[in-house]
Chain A
Amino acid sequence: MDSETTSKQPKTSNVETTSEMNPDNRSLKLQAKNVDVFYDDFQAIKKISLDIVEKSITAFIGPSGCGKSTFLRLFNRMNDNIDGFHMNGNILIDNKNIYDESIKVEELRKKVGMVFQKPNPFPKSIYENVAYGLRIQGVKDEEFIENRVIESLKQATLYSEIENNLEKQALSLSGGQQQRLCIARALAVKPSVLLMDEPTSALDPISSGKIEDLIHELKKEFTIVIVTHNMQQAARVSDNTAFLYMGNLIEYGDTQKIFTNPEKDRTQNYITGRFG
Chain B
Amino acid sequence: MNNAKINRIKDKVFKYTGIIASISGIVILSIFIGFVIYMGVQRLSWDFIVQLPSRFAEESGIYTAWMGTVWIMVFTTFISFPLGVGAGIYLEEYGDKNRWSSFLEINIANLASVPSIIYGLLGLGVFVRMMQMGNSILAGSLTLSLLILPIIIVSTREAIKAVPSSIRDASNALGASKWQTIWHQILPASFGGILTGVILALSRAIGETAPLIVVGALVYVPFAPQNPLDEFTVLPVQIYNWVSRPQEEFVINAAAAIIVLLGITFIMNGIAVYLRNKWQSKLEW
Chain A contact residues, CB within 8 Å of chain B = 76, 78, 81, 83, 106-110, 113-114, 116, 118, 120-123, 132-133, 135-137, 171, 182, 185-186, 189
Contact, CB under 8 Å: A107 / B169: no
Answer whether A171 and B169 are a contact pair too, CB < 8 Å, given A110-B175, A132-B174, A133-B174.
no
Contact, CB under 8 Å: A107 / B166: no
In the complex, chain B residues 261-285 whose Cβ is within 8 Å of any chain A Cβ: 282-285
Contact, CB under 8 Å: B173 / A106: no
> Does chain A have a CB within 8 A of B9?
no
11 extra interface residue pairs, beta carbon distance < 8 Å, beyond A83-B97, A116-B166, A121-B170: A81-B172, A106-B175, A106-B177, A107-B175, A109-B174, A116-B173, A122-B185, A132-B176, A132-B184, A171-B285, A189-B174
> Does chain A have a CB within 8 A of B180?
yes
Q: How far is the CB of A185 from chain B (nearest CB, A)?
A: 7
One of A78, A83, A136 near B176 (C-beta < 8 A): A136
One of A81, A113, A122, A137 near B167 (C-beta < 8 A): A122
Answer whether A120 and B175 are a contact pair too, CB < 8 Å, given A136-B180, A136-B184, A171-B284.
no
One of A123, A135, A185 near B283 (C-beta < 8 A): A123
Q: How far is the CB of A275 from chain B (nearest CB, A)?
A: 30
Contact, CB under 8 Å: B174 / A120: no
- Which 7 pairs from chain A and chain B are nearest by CB? A120-B166, A109-B175, A114-B173, A110-B175, A133-B174, A120-B170, A106-B175
Q: Residues 86-118 of chain B: 1 if any A CB is under 8 Å from the residue's CB, otherwise 0? A: 000000000001000000000000000000000
Contact, CB under 8 Å: A185 / B166: no
> Does chain A have a CB within 8 A of B60?
no
Interface of B is mostly: helix
Contacts of A171 in B (CB 8 A): 284-285
Contacts of B164 in A (CB 8 A): 120
| Chain A: CB-nearest residue to B174 | A133
* Cα(A108)–Cα(B176), bound, Å: 11
* Cα(A120)–Cα(B189), bound, Å: 13
One of A137, A182, A189 near B170 (C-beta < 8 A): A182
| Chain A: CB-nearest residue to B97 | A83
Contact, CB under 8 Å: A78 / B189: no
Contact, CB under 8 Å: A116 / B170: yes
| Chain B: CB-nearest residue to A133 | B174
Contact, CB under 8 Å: B167 / A76: no
| Chain B: CB-nearest residue to A111 | B175
* Cα(A185)–Cα(B167), bound, Å: 13
Contact, CB under 8 Å: B172 / A78: yes
Chain B contact residues, CB within 8 Å of chain A = 97, 164, 166-167, 169-177, 180, 184-185, 188-189, 282-285
Contacts of B184 in A (CB 8 A): 132, 135-136
Contact, CB under 8 Å: A120 / B167: yes
| Chain A: CB-nearest residue to B185 | A122
Contact, CB under 8 Å: B172 / A109: yes
Contacts of A122 in B (CB 8 A): 167, 170-171, 185
Contacts of A132 in B (CB 8 A): 171, 174, 176, 184
Contacts of B188 in A (CB 8 A): 123
Contact, CB under 8 Å: A120 / B177: no
Contacts of B185 in A (CB 8 A): 122
Contacts of B174 in A (CB 8 A): 109-110, 113, 132-133, 136, 185-186, 189
One of B169, B175, B189, B284 near A137 (C-beta < 8 A): B175
Contacts of B284 in A (CB 8 A): 171
Contact, CB under 8 Å: A133 / B283: no
* Cα(A136)–Cα(B172), bound, Å: 11
Contacts of A135 in B (CB 8 A): 184
One of B97, B166, B175, B189 near A133 (C-beta < 8 A): B175
Most chain B beta-carbon contacts within 10 A, residue among A114, A122, A133: A122
Q: How far is the CB of B188 from chain A (nearest CB, A)?
A: 8
Contact, CB under 8 Å: B175 / A136: yes
Contacts of A116 in B (CB 8 A): 166, 169-170, 173
Contacts of B97 in A (CB 8 A): 83
Q: Can you name 8 A-B pairs with beta carbons within 8 Å?
A: A83-B97, A108-B175, A116-B166, A121-B170, A122-B171, A132-B174, A185-B170, A185-B174
* Cα(A107)–Cα(B177), bound, Å: 10
Q: How far is the CB of B175 from chain A (nearest CB, A)?
A: 4
Contacts of B282 in A (CB 8 A): 123
Contacts of A133 in B (CB 8 A): 174-175
Contacts of A136 in B (CB 8 A): 171, 174-177, 180, 184
Contact, CB under 8 Å: B169 / A78: yes
Answer whether A76 and B173 are a contact pair too, CB < 8 Å, given A83-B97, A118-B166, A132-B184.
yes
* Cα(A271)–Cα(B174), bound, Å: 33
| Chain B: CB-nearest residue to A80 | B172
Contacts of A78 in B (CB 8 A): 169, 172-173
Contacts of A120 in B (CB 8 A): 164, 166-167, 169-170
